[in-house]
Amino acid sequence: MIRVLLADDHAVMRECLLHILEAAQAFVVAGQAHDGESTLALVCETDADVLVLDLTMPAGAGIGLIERVRAANPRLRVLVLSMHAEPHVMERAFRAGATGYLTKESAAVELVAAVRKVACGELYADPGQAGSRQPREGPAARRPQAELTSREREVLHRLAAGESSRRIAQALDLTPQTISTHKKRILEKLALANDAALIRYALRNGFGEDTDDPSRH
């Protein structure tokens, strides 16, 4: 079972999160906090895998609380659950050490998926924001592309260069179905919503350059 801590200043929100997580039958809520100071005390006193953290609580909350939590308990993974959907807020959270970011408009199934991924050490970005800006490295964050296999990186490189799935399949002596499987896994690992977001990500991260040498990325 994945042990989860909840930090939100609204009791109703905490009860809602508790219900969602317990209904999934894969989590146990090990503790709750209602402000920044009680959150710090909780993470120091309670053994857990993931902290679901609201940024707008009183008494020392905000982006700075992520850094304080990470300093107090480096092993604990932080999933921010925020009302702020602006990409720059998400980026600041990742830079501060968050492992995941989800808005409060998200569906229950997205929360469950996010907690699962974060607990496994993966980065998770809100699907509504993933296409516009990817999380950058922070104290707790690894580059998402580091999770890709060499074959997945090659497929991503060729997609960014404008090659079709059929052409990639021919070049790599694979079936189009295999290329589709690689694309699906890449989307999952990079927490991207669709092919358009995938291409934007690849181009921003230099995967569209020097097609003859994809291994250099």
In this structure, are 92 and 151 located in the same domain? no
The verdict on residue 139 lying in a domain is: no
Q: What is the pLDDT of residue 32?
A: 97
Last residue in a domain, options 74, 104, 130 = 130
Whether residue 156 sits in one domain with residue 84: no
pLDDT at 194: 72
Query: Is residue 206 a part of any domain in this protein?
Result: yes
* Residue 70 falls inside a structural domain: yes
Q: What angle do CA 149, 155, 156 make, to 5 degrees?
A: 90
Domain membership of residue 193 as a residue range: 144-216
- 100 shares a domain with 32: yes
Q: What pLDDT is attached to residue 208?
A: 61
The verdict on 13 and 94 lying in the same domain is: yes
Q: Where are the alpha helices (DSSP H) in 35-107?
A: 36-45, 63-72, 87-96
- Asked which of 102, 130, 158 is the last residue of a domain, the reply is 130
Handedness of CA 42, 88, 116, 19 (dihedral sign): positive
Which structure tokens are listed for 38?
């009680």
Query: Do 30 and 105 share a domain, yes or no?
Result: yes
In a domain, 109, yes or no: yes
Domain assignment present for 137? no
- Answer yes or no: pTM beyond 0.75: no
The enclosing domain of 95 has a CATH number of 3.40.50.2300
Give yes or no: residues 12 and 107 share one domain.
yes
pLDDT score, position 22: 92
CATH number assigned to the domain comprising residue 202:
1.10.10.10
Pairing of strands 100-103, 124-125: parallel
Burial class (CB in 10 A: 0-12, 13-18, 19+), 84: middle
What is the structure's pLDDT at 146? 57
Residues 20, 105: one domain? Answer: yes
Task: Give pLDDT, residue 27.
Answer: 96
Instruction: Say if 181 falls within a structural domain.
Output: yes
For position 165, what pLDDT does the model report? 87
Same-domain check for residues 101 and 181:
no
- pLDDT attached to residue 144: 55
What is residue 129's predicted lDDT score, i.e. its pLDDT?
59
Same domain, 9 and 62: yes
Residues 78 and 152 in one domain: no
Number of domains in the chain: 2
Distances (CA, A) of 32 to 4, 150, 167: 9, 41, 52
Are 195 and 95 in a shared domain? no
For each of the chain's 217 residues, which pLDDT tens digit applies? 999 999 999 999 999 999 999 999 999 999 999 999 999 999 999 999 999 999 888 887 788 899 999 999 999 999 999 888 777 788 888 888 898 999 888 888 999 999 999 998 888 887 765 444 444 444 434 455 557 888 998 998 888 877 888 899 999 999 999 999 998 888 888 777 777 777 777 777 777 655 444 444 4
